[in-house]
Structure 1
Amino acid sequence: MKLMRVGQPGHEKPALLDKDGKIRDLSAHVAEIGGAAISPEGLAKIAALDPASLPELSADERIGACVAGTGKFICIGLNYSDHAAESGMAVPPEPVIFMKATSAICGPNDDVLIPRGSEKTDWEVELGVVIGKTAKYVSEAEAMDYVAGYCVSHDVSERAFQTERAGQWTKGKSCDTFGPIGPWLVTKDEIADPQDLNMWLKVNGETMQNGTSATMVYGIAHLVSYLSQFMSLHPGDVISTGTPPGVGMGMKPQRFLKAGDVVELGIEGLGTQKQTFKADR
């Protein structure tokens, strides 16, 4: 299934995209796309519904973030061997973990705000993993049982804030609107192999990233298990699993985003995003 949330910020309705591309209203059946609704039992109940029996919503509605109630937005750094190489860094011996503030989350086509003082706002297409049930101390063999599905995640980054200011990466990752997710939460049964998905990103129509999740160093099952050793993962938590090469920081000369730039990105089977970047006043 392709689950989504549509409507203005704070007033999104839970919905699904049917096989004909029509948006169907789920609000009579679930309160939100999140929590119990994305547990294995909740997803089974949604799957049992006849999409044709659900009210159709306008295709012109704003698309919100694909999951609600995200308590943790966890990111994995340097998790693609080819991206680590372009960054001039070694592949880490264990996953590099950092957090992105949940206040950064926005819809997949919302405007992205370049923060005050920014000179190095960058792009990163990433495969997002949405947790469906609480995971604590889970093994790698059972880790996928805790995954509800996948989404496109744009890990927008301010590189000067991230690497040139004292402290950790979080301050360069957490600016308002720096976390577009969606358009859909695609349930895992629809994706045959999440470790073999094409990923791409364009800036003003020019292809910058053209990679594949096959070059991910630490795969999804490993990441879910690994993270669950340090913290409980809860329904609606999002793991953004790293980016392939082609980010602005890795270019020679480096390239960064400015007001008016349009970024488009997508992942095979998970949909696309499109954002206009604007100065945050």
Structure 2
Amino acid sequence: MKHARIRYQGDVHNVTVNDDHSVTLPNGETLAEQQVEWLPPAHGTVFALAINYADHAAELSFKAPTEPLAFLKSPSTLTGHNAVSVRPDNVDYMHYECELVVIIGKTAKNVKREQAMDYVAGYTVCNDYAVRDFLENYYRPNLRVKNRDTLTPIGPYWVDKEDVPNPHELTLRTWVNGELRQEGNTRDLVFDIPALIEYLSGFMTLSPGDMIATGTPEGLSDVVPGDEVVVEVEGVGRLVNWIVSEAGYEASLG
């Protein structure tokens, strides 16, 4: 089943998503995909992983890390499906990052990898944009690289764990204006989902609704205002958004 959070006529609803991407409100009313505002599909802390694909590490001429390189995402950086992401003015390089996101389903503390998948509720997709101009260290992306407003589209919905038989054998793809730019597979994760849950829950409590963005494979390229960017994780979802300029976005807000 596909679960989403949407805003319609000023109200936020938790809804189910149909095969044609229409949504069914709690009162039974069905709305088309374009009639609603798509919100991030879960509430909670967002954890992100740096250099968690072997091919991406090689792309950057780095060795794969020996322990997970995790950082947090602020709420203001999150946005939903069919939304815009703001490329800061006067920067040289901003790139997409297609990622599988794990949604935690129950409180997890000191979980061993053998039981870790019992704590997963389901999966969604995110595009963890990075503004590379401000990158000081690939191993520890700073706030100006990874926590800018609107630069983490996530969604459109999350799917139940049972609907994804093997999350470690999924193809990830990114298209820019219809051109395939990135393709990889979750089999190449440096630290798989059980390892990440064991690591994070070993020093902090994970709560229902927390999300773990598991990293991106190789194949990054610059995106500019006017670009349509589509990221897709096989069997999980397809997330669409558009790049706008900072000046244009501010003008649209009045």
TM-score above 0.5, yes or no: yes
Q: Which amino acid aligns with 2:159?
A: V
Using the TM superposition, give the Cα deviation of residue 205 of structure 1 relative to its aligned residue in structure 2, in angstroms: 1.8
Using the TM superposition, give the Cα deviation of residue 229 of structure 1 relative to its aligned residue in structure 2, in angstroms: 1.0
Equivalence for 2:199: 226
Q: Is the 8 A contact 2:42 2:210 kept in 1?
A: no
1:267 paired residue among 218, 222, 233: 233
Equivalence for 1:69: 43
Using the TM superposition, give the Cα deviation of residue 75 of structure 1 relative to its aligned residue in structure 2, in angstroms: 0.5
Matches within 5 A, 1:133-148: 133-148=106-121
Equivalence for 2:244: 278
Using the TM superposition, give the Cα deviation of residue 12 of structure 1 relative to its aligned residue in structure 2, in angstroms: 2.8
Q: Does 1:216 align with 2:182?
A: no
Distance 1:129 1:9 in 2: 30
Equivalence for 1:60: 34
Q: Is the 8 A contact 1:7 1:61 kept in 2?
A: no
Alpha-carbon distance change, 235 to 162 in structure 1, aligned in 2, over 3 angstroms: farther
Equivalence for 2:153: 180
Q: Is the 8 A contact 1:200 1:266 kept in 2?
A: yes
Using the TM superposition, give the Cα deviation of residue 66 of structure 1 relative to its aligned residue in structure 2, in angstroms: 4.0
Alpha-carbon distance change, 261 to 181 in structure 1, aligned in 2, over 3 angstroms: same
For residues 14-70 of structure 1, the C-alpha deviation after alignment (integer angstroms, 9 at most, x for no partner) is: 1002456542123x6xxxxxxxxxxxxxxxxxxxxxxxxx33233332342342432
Q: Is the 8 A contact 1:115 1:175 kept in 2?
A: no
Q: Is the 8 A contact 1:98 1:170 kept in 2?
A: no
Distance 2:118 2:184 in 1: 27
User: TM-score, with normalisation over the residues of structure 1?
Assistant: 0.81
> Is the partner of 2:11 in helix, strand or coil?
coil
> Is the partner of 2:125 in helix, strand or coil?
strand
Q: Does 1:198 align with 2:171?
A: yes
% identity of equivalent residues = 35
Matches within 5 A, 1:144-183: 144-163=117-136, 168-183=141-156
For residues 123-145 of structure 1, the C-alpha deviation after alignment (integer angstroms, 9 at most, x for no partner) is: 10000111111111111111111
Equivalence for 1:94: 67
Distance 2:233 2:123 in 1: 10
Answer 1 or 2: which has greater strand percent: 2
For residues 144-179 of structure 1, the C-alpha deviation after alignment (integer angstroms, 9 at most, x for no partner) is: 1111110011111111223379x8523211111111
Q: Is the 8 A contact 2:21 2:32 kept in 1?
A: no
Distance 1:222 1:144 in 2: 10
Distance 1:156 1:73 in 2: 14
Distance 2:129 2:173 in 1: 14
Alpha-carbon distance change, 25 to 75 in structure 1, aligned in 2, over 3 angstroms: same
Q: Is the 8 A contact 2:172 2:232 kept in 1?
A: yes
Distance 1:10 1:178 in 2: 23
Runs of 4+ in 1 over 4 A off after TM superposition: 19-22
Question: Which residues of structure 2 form unaligned runs of 5+?
Answer: 248-254
User: TM-score, with normalisation over the residues of structure 2?
Assistant: 0.90
Q: Is the 8 A contact 2:134 2:144 kept in 1?
A: yes
Distance 1:113 1:19 in 2: 30
For residues 66-91 of structure 1, the C-alpha deviation after alignment (integer angstroms, 9 at most, x for no partner) is: 42432x11111111111110011000
Question: Which residues of structure 1 form unaligned runs of 5+?
Answer: 29-53, 249-255
Distance 1:206 1:63 in 2: 26
User: Which deviates more from structure 2 when the two are superposed, residues 148-157 or residues 113-122?
Assistant: 113-122
